[in-house]
Structure 1
Amino acid sequence: AIDEAHCISEWGHDFRPEYMQIGQILQQLPNARVLACTATATPVVRDEILEQLGLPSTTPQQLRGFARPNLAFRVLETQTKPQRIAGIDQLLAESLGAPGSARGTAIIYSPTRKATEEEAQRLSEAGWNAAPYHAGRDPDRRQSVQTTFAAGQQEVVVATNAFGMGIDRADVRCIGHLGPPGSVEAYYQEAGRAGRDGEPATCLLLVSPADMPLRRRLIERDVEGQSPAPETIEHRWNLFLELMRYAEGGACRHDAILRYFGDEEETLSGCGRCDNCLRLEDDDEADAVQIAEIVRKALCGAARIHGRFGLGAAARLLRGGEDLRLQRAGLADTPTFGIMSDRDEDWLVRLLSRCVTAGWLEFGEHRVVRVTPEGYDVIHARRPVRLVLPARQRPSPQRGSSGGRRSRKAASVVADLDAAGRDLFEALRAWRLTTASGEGKPPYVVASDRTLRDMATLRPTTEDELLLCHGIGPAKMEKYGTAMLSIIGEGTHSGG
């Protein structure tokens, strides 16, 4: 039995080289039954776990237990240090009451050792029994903090991600993050240490404009004198961008996390506890009417370009922007042209992306956008609108966030796969695992989850169409194109 099995994956969020030895041990035990357990593994990580352990792609995979309906997920965008301080103080007051109230414990995660020390000192001066924990502290002091916390004698621990593995205290009432970790997996594992007694608990993620350049520097820095490989940098950057998309999302945060891990069965259609769900419930009737009107206008714009163009064209139609394709199609002369001229194009793309997440829009071949039957129900007021609109003002891109343009493009192509698409995605995963094993490479080097999802969504039939998928360039086309198109063709025919 292998616990924390995600640690075996070089592409996971918590790779530990020692885990690589497990596969060698299993080779000496050919008749052994193997159970690998993890609470945070995306499809590509699960594939590498199989590959590293020498298990076939047909190995049964059980996805369950991701749901944590007692956790209230919140995201707070801050611009200044006083705002961050206020966010953490409010979290502790709401979850633990006053210092010494014996209402439970809390963990505050920090992205740096310096910030860990500073926040622990600040909370101690405010009366909390708080202590710092990070890998740079003396081992005896670290062990002391861990022991007193496990015994319930330490009220608050401020820590880097070095704290937590093996921690199973039931009464953690809140988890705070002073800044975003490196991925959704890392965030959910750390946040998941709250509320293990089944009682309500709160998880607060603080984000700011400085997060992206800071994370980029952390990803690109040397490790033991060695620069990371370009594909490693790209992969870790994409993982971080997935977390940023989660932070910006307007739908239920609990369900968004479950979908990220592929656990559709446990989604709640709204947890009723996260900040997005509470905003939707608290909107007064006037606000709800205004939001519904905005969403219906946006969907009407998408309906005008239905099956012809992508989200960008729909946004320009609504904005009234110049686009030769719209003029040639006669769409610049329709009543919808410029109907939302008071909004900028980037905001409109983000709104339309949220409509994709809500199931009101979907993508066809070549990323063209289409209105779903549920979307038409929204347009004709036969279905209620439950959506948090994007913020009107957005921080300008920071220097060093070179993936910004790509992240906006990626956000616009995220869509739930239909049944045939899910079957095709699984077939592509099996091919990826077999190919990676034969070449002695991690599965991600062959193709990322996002690449496979793009292929399962677009279902290209030619090399030119395949090149439209994320991560497919001339080199991968030459090496894997024929095999990929063959699998897609078989999946498309078998799926009807």
Structure 2
Amino acid sequence: MTADPIDILRTTFGFSGFRGVQQQVVDRVLAGQHTLAVMPTGAGKSLTYQLPAVAMPGTCIVISPLIALMHDQLRAAEAVGIRAATLTSVDDNRAGTIARFRNGELDLLYVAPERASSGYFRDMLGQARLALFAIDEAHCVSEWGHDFRPDYRLLRPLLDSFPNVPRLALTATADAHTRADILEQLGIAPDGLIVAGFDRPNIRYAISPRDNVTRQLQALLDEQPGPGIVYAPTRNAVERLAEKLGDGGRPVRAYHAGLPPQVRAQNQADFVASEDMVMVATVAFGMGIDKPDVRFVAHAGIPKSIEGYYQETGRAGRDGDPAVAHLFWGADDFARARQRIHEVEPARQSGERARLTALGALVETAGCRRAILLRHFGEHPPERCGNCDNCLTPPKAVDASVTAQKYLSAVFRTGQMFGTGYVESVLVGKSSERSLTNGHENLSVWGIVEGEEEALLKPVSRALLLRDALRTNPHGGLEFGPAARAILKGEAEVALVLPPKRQRRGRGANKASNPVGNPLFEALRNRRREIAQETGLPPYVIFHDSVLRDMALTRPETLSAMGEISGIGAKKLEAYGPAFLDVIREAA
């Protein structure tokens, strides 16, 4: 007998109603139907299998790609009273977990795809009742996805061994091509696809040319006092930025594959438990965390694709409070990305070039960033969102085609062997021993840029490199790329987007956590911090900030009244309610 889902939603999770497409997904699962749900991060994907796991007899098997992510989700499930366990290589209680599964004592069992695809595990599953297969991060099954994992391809035989057990595939990031591939690979009929909107309206998107990225990132940290992630393209860049940003007074940690496993694990644990830490990391970090209160995500270089950008920035603001995603890019990012494309197998090069072109359009646009993102995923958004840098402070767009032609001419006439600094010195007529020795002061391009046009040179060089009209050789010199000819002949224009001067917002500009400065909210937060230290749980697992805000606003006088607040289920009310009631009474 399946329990009533609305009762479970209220008593276990503390919510009075479903959000978005959650009910559609849950209804299909409870009806035994196979489903692929594409839902943005923060839309409550985990509830779509956790609730059925409680409602249905048997165990829900959750296939998840990273051990750290499983352990985070395990903590959150246990905190609301769900009987859950992980079966991973680092767990020392595997025999006990298997016994609990066989005895029907688990609602959820989290495993990695490598284990799930083994014959031993399939045999074990035949020894107890199964409620559901939930395949998290399902885009990993598709070669078209941005984060392909071969072990996901081996899951189909396991799923087909239990044809009467419903399967639910979940992802936040999949375009139409990837969705079709997931459906085929996991044996889900096309009518089992549910796609929620991709919009994350609480995230403010911003993109800036990189210019002293340490200073730019420090300014962002000064504005955003909450926890955040800074993505850097290489391990060396991670180490360097972590050291420099750590000088600013905030706790900063590094994370990349080259660190010892115990250091990575400790840094990640510290970040998950913190309310103000900054993690500087390669993209290996983030998929493995389930931290809803990340207030900003910054990129110190371009991601691999719009899909990657969407997923990485989606790690901000999962609790629904305001968050910031800021990308700092350089033309050399695109040059390196093009070089990497030449190194992949020919069959994949066309798709990789298309991804890079789409990313370039996002970076260069004078229009709404969010609109470009949502159109990429097949949506039809309004022209302006009101919550990205270009909508909030519209940039100036200028036609720099003539300046671009001058720039290309200077590169050609100096022999396609000098870097940007020297080419620009020739264009503005800045004499040096080098220009005298090379005879470049006699060229027709010497000093042909002056006045206000001089300010266009750096953005023009970035634009030409981004569009592959210019490339850098191994020695740093500029040479023509395939797009140069059309620009020189006037067949392609170069429109520049000149961002307005950045307005410094001041420390703590993002006041979402306590928008009205309520002292009771801060007292409740302090109590949450104490409980977190006592229990070893991250503060957000106890209660989200939104729950504390509602407590501070409504000031419940009894446990019964506190239980009416959204996000407080029966288990949490029993475990933590009295401590928070004491804080409210003391503030009365």
Q: TM-score, normalised by structure 1?
A: 0.54
Find 1:275's aligned residue among 369, 383, 389: 389
Instruction: Note closer, same or farther for the CA distance 1:180–1:392 as it changes in structure 2 (3 Å cut).
Output: closer
The superposition leaves residues 339-380 of structure 1 with CA deviations (integer Å, 9 ceiling, x where unpaired) of x8x854989xxxxxxxxxxxxxxxxxxxxxxxxxxxxxxxxx
By how many angstroms is 1:108 displaced? 0.2
Q: Is 1:12 aligned with 2:145? A: yes
Query: 1:154 and 1:90, CA in 2 relative to 1: closer, same or farther beyond 3 A?
Result: closer
Change (3 A) 1:271 1:158: same
Partner of 1:393: 460
- Counterparts in 2 of 1:209 and 1:269: CA distance versus 1, 3 Å: closer
- Counterparts in 2 of 1:116-135, with a 5 A limit? 116-135=238-257
Q: Pick the structure with greater CA Rg.
A: 2
In 1, distance between residues paired with 2:321 and 2:330? 30
Partner SS for 1:259: helix
1:34 aligns with 2:167: yes
Q: How many angstroms apart in 2 are the aligned matches of 1:411 and 1:18? A: 46
Partner of 1:108: 230
8 Å contact 1:130–1:154 — kept in the other structure?
no
Query: Are the equivalent residues in 2 in contact too, given 1:63–1:263 (CA < 8 A)?
Result: no
Pair 405,48 (structure 1): closer, same or farther in 2 beyond 3 Å: farther
Correspondences of 1:80-479 after superposition (within 5 Å): 80=211, 82=212, 84-96=213-225, 104-152=226-274, 155-221=277-343, 228-264=344-380, 267-280=381-394, 343-344=401-402, 393-395=460-462, 396-397=464-465, 398-399=470-471
| Aligned residues of 1:120 and 1:158 also touching (Cα < 8 A) | yes
Give me the whole-angstrom Cα distance separating, in 2, the residues matched to 1:95 and 1:116: 20
Letter in 2 for 1:95: Q
Whether the aligned pair in 1 keeps the contact of 2:300 and 2:328 (CA below 8 Å) is yes
Q: Name stretches of at least 5 consecutive residues in structure 1 with no aligned partner.
A: 97-103, 222-227, 295-339, 348-390, 413-496
Is it true that 1:72 corresponds to 2:204 in the alignment?
yes
In structure 1, distance between residues paired with 2:284 and 2:151: 17
Secondary structure of 1:263's match?
coil
- Quick one: which amino acid aligns to residue 143 of structure 2? E
Q: 1:44 to 1:195 in 2, by over 3 A?
A: same
Contact 1:76 1:87 in 2 (8 A): no
Decide whether the 8 Å contact of 1:72 with 1:275 is kept in 2: yes
CA displacement at 1:407 relative to structure 2: 13
Q: Secondary structure at the match of 2:253?
A: strand
Please state how far the C-alpha of 1:44 moved relative to its aligned partner.
1.1
Distance 2:485 2:377 in 1: 22
Match of 1:44 in 2: 177
* Residues 1:274 and 1:238: Cα distance change in structure 2 (over 3 Å): same
Letter in structure 2 aligned against 1:276: N
Aligned partner letter, 1:144: Q
Question: How far 1:175 sits from its partner (Å)?
Answer: 0.8
Q: 1:176 corresponds to which letter in structure 2?
A: A
Does the 8 Å contact 1:183/1:239 carry over to 2?
A: yes
Q: Structure 2 counterpart of 1:52, which letter?
A: Q
* Paired-residue identity, %: 39
Asked if 1 retains the 8 angstrom alpha-carbon contact of 2:404 and 2:460, the reply is no
- Deviation at residue 35 of structure 1 after TM alignment: 2.0
Letter in 1 for 2:460: Q
Residues 38, 243 of structure 1: alpha-carbon distance in 2 compared, 3 angstrom cutoff: same
Flag the 1:211–1:36 CA change in 2: closer, same or farther, 3 A. Answer: same
Aligned letter for 1:89?
A: Q
Q: What's the counterpart of residue 9 of structure 2?
A: none
Task: Report the CA distance between 1:394 and its aligned residue.
Answer: 4.8
Amino acid in the other structure paired with 2:203: L
2:158 match: 25
Shift of 1:410: 12
Contact 1:107 1:159 in 2 (8 A): yes
- Deviations along 1:281-304, whole A, 9 cap, x unmatched? xx8xxx8xxx8xx9xxxxxxxxxx
Contact 1:74 1:204 in 2 (8 A): yes
- What secondary structure does 2:460 align onto? coil
Structure 1: how far apart are the matches of 2:224 and 2:391?
19
State the alpha-carbon separation in 1 of the partners of residues 302 and 208 from structure 2: 11
The alignment yields a C-alpha RMSD, in angstroms, of 3.3
Task: Indicate the SS of the match to 1:73.
Answer: strand
SS at match of 1:74: strand
Structure 2 residue identity aligned to 1:237: R
Displacement of 1:86: 2.3
Q: Which residue type is aligned with residue 259 of structure 1?
A: R
CA contact 2:250–2:276 (8 Å) conserved in 1: no
Distance, in Å, in 1 between the alignment partners of 2:141 and 2:316 is: 25
One-letter amino acid of the counterpart of residue 73, structure 1: Y
- Counterpart Cα distance in 2 of 1:166 and 1:411: 44
- Give 3-state SS (helix, strand or coil) of 1:62's partner: strand
Task: Give the C-alpha shift of residue 11 in structure 1.
Answer: 2.0
Distance 1:232 1:405, change over 3 A: farther
Unaligned runs of 5+ in 2: 1-133, 406-457, 473-479, 495-588
- 1:64–1:263 contact (8 Å) kept in structure 2: no
Q: Contact 1:148–1:154 (CA<8 Å) still a contact in 2?
A: no
In 2, Cα distance between equivalents of 1:407 and 1:2: 48
Q: How far apart are residue 220 of structure 1 and its match?
A: 4.4
Letter in 2 for 1:123: L
Deviation at residue 268 of structure 1 after TM alignment:
4.7
Q: For the Cα contact (< 8 Å) 2:230–2:280, is it kept in 1?
A: yes
Aligned residues: 295
Equivalents in 1 of 2:350, 2:275: separation in Å?
42
Is the 8 Å Cα contact of residues 256 and 285 (structure 2) preserved in structure 1? yes
Q: Deviations over 1:260-310 (max 9, x none)?
A: 11133xx35422121110123xx8xxx8xxx8xx9xxxxxxxxxxxxxxxx
